[in-house]
Each structure stands twice: as structure tokens, then as C-alpha cells.
Amino acid sequence: MNDDRFAHSRRRAAPIGDRAFASLVFVYASLLPFESISVSGIGLARIPGLVLTVVGGIIALIRPGVSFTIPPLIFAPGMLALASYFWSVDPSATVEKSLTYASLGLITALLIMLGTHRSVKAAIGGLSVGATLAAFQVLRGYETQVFQINDEIRSSAAHANANDLAALFAVVGALVLGIALKTQRRTSYLYLAVALVCFGATVLTASRTAVASVLVAVVVGTSWGAKRLGRRLLTLASLGACAFFVLSAVDLRILDRLRGTGDSVAAGDLNARVPLWRAGIEGWLDRPLTGWGSGSFPEIAFRHIGVRDAAHNTGVSVLAELGIFGGAILVVLIFAGMQAAWRASDPGLRLGFLLAELVLVINMALLSWDHRKLPWLILSLVLLERRLNSSGKRGAETVAGDVHTAESGSGLPRRGRTEPSECT
């Protein structure tokens, strides 16, 4: 009877607006592969992002007990980028990128403050659905050969950059692969199927960096995550069958491009990226503390090598634009994400987040992704999971303390102990 008395105290009603917020998170995450599509000049993924921000702000005001304590470094990139306007060599680009940083920081803060376990599931489900739909568009693009450059067939979708889309496939595939390897429920097979679809689409994009990161995720995940021999064999057999099917069906020019990774590294230019990196490092050495202003890397490259292009390296881009302080913020955010992923209580989420962070770091070495939505979403999910774990432990300790106090005051014997008998 005493247990029944306190069982109800352990049940907590869903917070105000939880379902609505999780639904918006699902829509936002599912549209990330299609953010290059614009409607009336507004990016497709930015529309639910704006709605998520407005609705999240309203929920934060009306929901009781919301903790506004969030890591201050989330807003540091936006604040530093805005301050760089005063010394920027490209003020218009600085304003645009500063607003992007501010928007991403605000969405991240709202997810950490208002998110629940339902929000985490919604985000992972949205990423899975969006990546699967984009993968089918990649397959259709490959069949029609709509993306062909210099006799190289690289399939893409939704007018997205093939390298960006490949990195998204690799990250989402690594995330769901980790969950599939550690989850004992039937949904693990669904996650494994999504991972196979994402990895196959990554090959069709012919992105050498993304394919290499997928191989790393598969090796680390299967060797570390699958403890049961049956699960490991099933995963390896599925991945092997997927690789055999994809490699036997794709155009030989895609395979030739993938096999040319070693030649590109040996040539020392990594598909013309090394000169851009040198230009960025030289620009940073000219202004090591402040940088040249957020969003100004194309101008930096033009001044040094006569070409306006992105840095194709997140670290070099941030250093050149925001100086040593921006680089330090980037490193701290990456390590914070890794640490939070390592401490996730759910084994599937822990492995999935760690693999996703690993794949992100590999792809960010060849992409300028400091202002893209996917890295920020992964960061917000791992920090949200850490907050939920901390609040769950505090809640469990509170409930245990309440039960202990009630048992002591009721005169009933404590659990696990027997009161001495009065009979002699």
C-alpha cells in the first residue's frame, strides 16, 4: 500500500506544449536535406526553424519551471561574429552570417531548455525520414544523370551541393547505425535499414571524404558497439550485401573517382583545396586575434590567390574569419559535444552520438560547416540528452528521499530492513 501511495508521485505529466514542440522538431529535422530549396527567397528548412523559434519562445514563457540555464558558448559564435562587423572586409556577408549564427544558437538553446525525450526521438526520426527521402532523390538523379561535371557523374538531390548532401548522409547513417547496434528492440532493424540507405546514397554522391568517414564509422561501430556475435554478424552481412549491390550497380566513373582518393592526396592539392587552406592560414596570420570578419573568407581567398571560394575546412574558415578566439570556441564546442555524447545514459544514443560526432569532425575537415544546421542540431541533441540525464538523476534522488522520509514517519519498517521483535 505504501508503494502505491508514492507510485503516482513518480509519474509526471507531459510538460506544456511538449507534443507541439516535438512535432516542430521532427519537421525541422526532416527538412534539413532540402534546405537548399528556397520558397520566396527563404530556405525551406529555415521556415520551420522560424516557427520553432517563435513557438518555442511562447512555450518557454508559459511553461512553469523552465530552466534558462544554458551553456553560454552557444551564443558566443554569434556575438563574436556580430562584433567582427566593425573590422570586417565584407560587412554584408558578416551581417548575414551573424544572423545565421544567432538563429542557430537560439534554436539550440530552445531545444536544450524545452526538449524532452520525445524531442530527441522526434529529431532522430525526422533526420531518418528526411535522409531517406533525399536518398531516393539521389537515386533518381543518378538514373537521369542530372549532375554531371567533366565526365564525372555525381548524383545529388534538391539542388543541394553533392558534398554537403554526402556528409549529411554519412552523419545520419552513423547516428542510426550506432542506435541499431545497441538497441535490442525491433526498431533496431528499421534503424539499420535507414543506415544502409544513407550509406548507399553516400556512394552515389561520389564524395570521397564522406565515403571514408562511413568506413570509419562502420569499423568503429561494429568492433565496439555490437557485443553479441549474432548482432555483429547480421550488421556486417547487411553492410556487405549493401556494398556489393551498390558497387555492382553504380557507374564506373563513380568508382574511378572514389579510387582516385590516394592520387588526390599524393598530388598535394586535394582537389584544389590546399591553396585555399594556405590562403586562409596566411590571412589568419595577418590578423591572428580578430580575423577578417565573419563570412569574409571568399574575400580573403581572392586577396591571396585570386579566387573567391569557401574554405572547405571549418577550422581554417573560423580561424581566418574570427581569429584565435573563434577557433577556441569551435574546439570547445566540439569537445563539449563529444563529452556529452560519451556520458549519455542510453547505450544506443551514446554510440550513435559518438559515431555522428566522429563523422562530423572528419567531414568538417573538408567542408565549411560552422554555420550549417546539422552540426548544431547534433550538438543540441547531445546537450539536451545530458540535461535530461542530470534532471532524471536528481528526480530519482528526490523521489527516493521522499519515500525514505515517508516510511520513517509512518512507523512502517524500511525496505530491506527488519525491525527487531518485541518478543523475548
Whether residue 403 lies inside any domain: the answer is: no
Nearest residue to 171 (alpha-carbon basis) of 372, 357, 419: 357
pLDDT at 198: 92
In the block, cell 538553446 appears at 109
Whether residue 270 lies inside any domain: the answer is: yes
Whether residue 2 lies inside any domain: the answer is: no
The whole-angstrom separation of Cα 116 and Cα 127 is 17
Whether residue 296 lies inside any domain: the answer is: yes
Nearest residue to 373 (alpha-carbon basis) of 49, 47, 39, 20: 49
pLDDT at 396: 47
Domain total in the chain:
1
- Which residue range(s) make up the domain with 111? 16-384
Whether residue 394 lies inside any domain: the answer is: no
Tell me, rounded to whole angstroms, the distance of Cα 186 from its chain centroid: 24
* CA–CA–CA angle 61, 62, 67 (5° rounding): 60
Q: Which residues are CB-contacts of 240 (< 8 A; sequence separation ≥ 6)? A: none
Whether residue 399 lies inside any domain: the answer is: no
Exposed, middle or buried, 398 (CB in 10 Å: 0-12/13-18/19+)? exposed
Task: Pinpoint the alpha helices (H) of 205-313.
Answer: 208-220, 229-249, 252-259, 261-267, 274-286, 297-305
pLDDT at 139: 76
Instruction: Provide the residue-wise pLDDT of the chain in tens; the chain has 424 residues.
Output: 444 443 444 445 667 788 999 999 999 999 888 776 554 455 666 788 888 889 888 888 888 877 777 778 899 999 999 999 999 999 999 999 999 999 999 999 999 999 999 999 999 999 999 999 988 887 776 655 544 444 455 555 545 567 888 899 999 999 999 998 887 777 888 998 999 999 988 888 888 889 999 999 998 988 876 666 666 677 778 888 887 777 777 777 777 777 766 666 655 566 778 899 999 999 999 999 999 999 999 999 999 999 888 999 999 999 999 999 999 999 999 999 999 999 888 888 999 999 999 999 999 998 999 999 999 999 999 999 998 888 765 554 444 444 445 445 555 454 444 444 444 3
Whether residue 361 lies inside any domain: the answer is: yes
Neighbours of 189 (CB within 10 A): 13
Whether residue 419 lies inside any domain: the answer is: no
pLDDT at 7: 42
Q: Which residues are CB-contacts of 239 (< 8 A; sequence separation ≥ 6)? A: 196, 199, 218, 222
Q: Counting runs of H as helices and runs of E as strands, what totals does the chain give? A: 17, 4
